[in-house]
Amino acid sequence: ETGVTQTPRHLVMGMTNKKSLKCEQHLGHNAMYWYKQSAKKPLELMFVYNFKEQTENNSVPSRFSPECPNSSHLFLHLHTLQPEDSALYLCASSQDFAGGKTDTQYFGPGTRLTVL
């Protein structure tokens, strides 16, 4: 599946900058997700949107702000980040959010973020 795209692929930002990550899915799915992948740590779920409604905020700091204007687009707005926020940020989508094979999540290529 190559139906989930993410931009930019690489981002370098200072701690005082404001930037946004964009995710778009072309699969007709109803649920979208943001994950953070740091070195030597399991994938961490950050946010879940189901039918454009946020259903999960996994204790993420407020300097990360998600936005889901429709079922196909998901943004992650970043401001005043810390160096420890440097990681690969992955977006995913799934048909449903209710259990079963239809919940298979398909991922985008990720945005590799470096905070200086």
Partner 1 sequence: AQKITQTQPGMFVQEKEAVTLDCTYDTSDPSYGLFWYKQPSSGEMIFLIYQGSYDQQNATEGRYSLNFQKARKSANLVISASQLGDSAMYFCAMRSSNFGNEKLTFGTGTRLTIIP
Alpha carbon distance 9, 21 (integer Å): 9
Compute how many other C-beta atoms are within 10 angstroms of the C-beta atom of residue 51. 13
Nearer to partner 1, 53 or 101 (CB): 101
Judged by CB under 8 A, the residue of 13, 52, 67, 109 near partner 1 is 109
CB of 47 to partner 1, least distance (A): 11
Judged by CB under 8 A, the residue of 13, 27, 60, 88 near partner 1 is 88
CB of 55 to partner 1, least distance (A): 9
Judged by CB under 8 A, the residue of 19, 22, 56, 79 near partner 1 is 56
Q: How many residues does the chain have?
A: 116
- The answer to whether 60 contacts partner 1 (rule: CB under 8 A) is no
Residue 43 has phi, psi (to 5 degrees) of: -55, 135
83, 87, 89, 90 alpha-carbon torsion, rounded to 10°? -170
Alpha carbon distance 71, 12 (integer Å): 28
Residues near partner 1 (CB under 8 A) = 1, 40-43, 45, 48, 56, 58, 88, 90, 92, 97-101, 103-110, 112
